[in-house]
Structure 1
Amino acid sequence: MSSPTTATTPSSPSDARRKLAAPTVAMLPRIADSLSFLYLDIVRILQDDTGVCAEVTSERRGRETVYLPTAALSCVLLGPGTSITARALATLARHGTTVLVTGSGGVRCYAGAQPDSLSTTWLEHQARAWADDTQRLTVATAMYEKRFGKKTVPPGTTLEQLRGMEGQRVKAQYRLLAQQYKIGRFRRAYDRAKWDSQDPVNLALSSANTCLYGIVHAATLALGCSPALGFVHSGNQQAFVYDIADLYKAEHTIPLAFSLHASTNPEAEARRSFRDGLRLFRLLPRIVHDIQELLDPHGDREAPDPEEQLVDLWDPIAGPLPGGANHGAGS
């Protein structure tokens, strides 16, 4: 998941890692409702007589086998370069593990396999709230107040008025950031037909938002919720994903996009910033907690500690690495 270290000499270990595309395994420890995520890339996952394992190959250490704690995993994210056998997939399904096919670092979610044993608790909460107009407005209001503060919505505000209020808040943030970075007037634009002619901020924002949608989609599927049943957005298979992703844009993707206003390759830099800084995986526990709080506001659950060390890395050459750090900058 972390980017290869920049090579200094042809024979350096970091150069060998770059050439071999040495795999990295990132694990997030158990979070709310015993939900654990495992991200894997550039490994072969198979079933042997002992259990499900990941085969990792490197020039220095040869082939190594890392056994996966299938009974403790709720969701496995398969990144690029990963292959999995049918037997291993069947074992994960028997243990109730959701398996998702994602882009590098989880920046996109392409497909998912959910086991029959996956609880419908959160889907039922979501469906009940979505189908009732009063509850739907309550959830939409809670989403707005999560972004802009408690009691910022006057009593009797309609869903249409909420959308208008949100639009004004976001435009105000655009103005402030445009002034901060001295880029003049900014207008949000998303036109696939004129993609290459867009300014760097719009390109970076679209790219960063796509990364955010991927990790929100993964968390949504892991909980068993429907990505299509949105409370503010509607009429799209990703409506609920867009709802939840909006909670974090003002804090993460919008400031990042404006910081890349002078970049010559804003799309790639936005993606790398999320992957290398591990921002997306740090968000996972928060996303899960926020979804649960929105759908069941009276439930008793502990908020994730933002200072807690959430990510540990394992590397076949360097061994254990500390999480929460960018290992893409040379050593």
Structure 2
Amino acid sequence: MSGGDARRKLAAPTLAMLPRIADSLSFLYTEAVRIVQDDTGVCAQVETRQGTDRVYLPTAALACILLGPGTSITQPAMATIARHGTSLVCVGAGGVRSYAGIMPASLTTNWLEKQVRAWADDASRLQVAVRMYEMRFGTASAPAGASLAQLRGLEGQRIKALYRLMATKYGIKRFKRNYDPDSWDDQDPVNKALSGANTCMYGVVHAAVLALGCSPALGFIHNGTQMAFVYDVADLYKARVTIPMAFSLHASKDPECEARRRLREEFRAYKLMPQIVADIQALLDPSSITSNAGERSSDLVHLWDPDAGALPAGVNYGFEFSDLAVE
């Protein structure tokens, strides 16, 4: 086998070679680069006066790549990224606004089926929504018998109290949450950092949702958007991660950039990627949590049977109809 053939073979990994989504790095933000595929792998190119600088991207170890302004990508590079199970998200300057996502094909529908069953029944959907609020409250569980409207109100009060606490801690006399992309430059550093960090958080959660085979559109608290479930899951971590971090950047001259850098460190320090995977599974089916959370399955397809459940695919079942032959 020639050196070029060997490199191309490595660029097309098998399922066994891919890391679990729970073990993935969080995200990579790119801006003003050209992403291409060569004989070695996927790299980001930047044209300089000295020539072309190349930085190779660890695509198989990334949950998602955020494509910022000025970034272009070739079809071969996109194909390799998709084979690696990495999501692509097109974002605005600083990763602030998410425009579109290019996601790899799901390898299994196991968790999608659990999500659909829980979402389609009002009673089970309410149970998942209550579990989400209980996760947000942390040690203080939701009051017994509280309605969804009451839980929303309690969560709103908790976030307002957190804003006041953070403002007092960092000596900010007045703070109001504001997200207005049309007047972005007029916003204060805390709002800029919070919006930028939340968008990166959405990209990572979106990648985790797709890697498990779930639908980002079937939300349990949010509704009416293709990102409903992503917003549901991302809200679990804002009070612990993005809100305190944003207030700590109140004096930053470049809050969006610093927010992205710190968020990467937060993901590494708190091991948030495996936490996101485990939390999604716990929300959808608490009884089925295993030590293999986030594992990519090589059992791609099976057949459904109302009596037997899942049957193996790739099997000829013609013999079962021999007794129905017409004479």
Structure 2 length as normaliser, TM-score? Answer: 0.66
Give the 3 Å change call, closer, same or farther, for CA 264–303 of structure 1 in structure 2.
farther
Residue pair 1:100, 1:113 contacting (<8 A) in 2 also: yes
Residue pair 2:59, 2:81 contacting (<8 A) in 1 also: no
Cα distance in 2 for partners of 1:204, 1:263 equals 9
Deviations 1:204-262 (A, max 9, x none): 21111111111111111111111111111111211111111111111111011111112
Residue pair 1:212, 1:280 contacting (<8 A) in 2 also: no
Determine the structure 2 residue equivalent to 1:149.
Answer: 138
- Which 5+ residue runs of structure 2 have no aligned equivalent? 1-16, 294-327
Determine the structure 1 residue equivalent to 2:121.
Answer: 132
Determine the structure 2 residue equivalent to 1:9.
Answer: none
The amino acid of 1:112's aligned partner reads: I
- Which 5+ residue runs of structure 1 have no aligned equivalent? 1-27, 305-331
Larger Rg: 2
Determine the structure 1 residue equivalent to 2:248.
Answer: 259
Give the 3 Å change call, closer, same or farther, for CA 113–87 of structure 1 in structure 2.
same
Give the 3 Å change call, closer, same or farther, for CA 268–158 of structure 1 in structure 2.
same
Cα distance in 2 for partners of 1:209, 1:63 equals 29
Deviations 1:84-117 (A, max 9, x none): 554982x776x6x5342246999868422433x6
Give the 3 Å change call, closer, same or farther, for CA 122–180 of structure 1 in structure 2.
same
Give the 3 Å change call, closer, same or farther, for CA 77–55 of structure 1 in structure 2.
closer
Cα distance in 2 for partners of 1:177, 1:151 equals 20
Cα distance in 1 for partners of 2:242, 2:54 equals 39
Give the 3 Å change call, closer, same or farther, for CA 123–181 of structure 1 in structure 2.
same
Residue 284 (structure 2) pairs with residue 279 (structure 1): no
How much identity, in percent, do the aligned residues show? 50
- Give 2:102's match in structure 1, choosing from 112, 117, 122: 112
SS at match of 1:135: helix
Cα distance in 2 for partners of 1:76, 1:197 equals 30
Give the 3 Å change call, closer, same or farther, for CA 300–186 of structure 1 in structure 2.
same
The total of aligned residue pairs comes to: 264
Residue 284 (structure 2) pairs with residue 292 (structure 1): no
Identify, as 1 or 2, the structure richer in helix: 2
Cα distance in 2 for partners of 1:85, 1:132 equals 41
SS at match of 1:137: helix
Cα distance in 1 for partners of 2:224, 2:266 equals 32
1:301 deviates by: 1.9
- Give 1:100's match in structure 2, choosing from 76, 83, 87: 87
The amino acid of 2:85's aligned partner reads: T
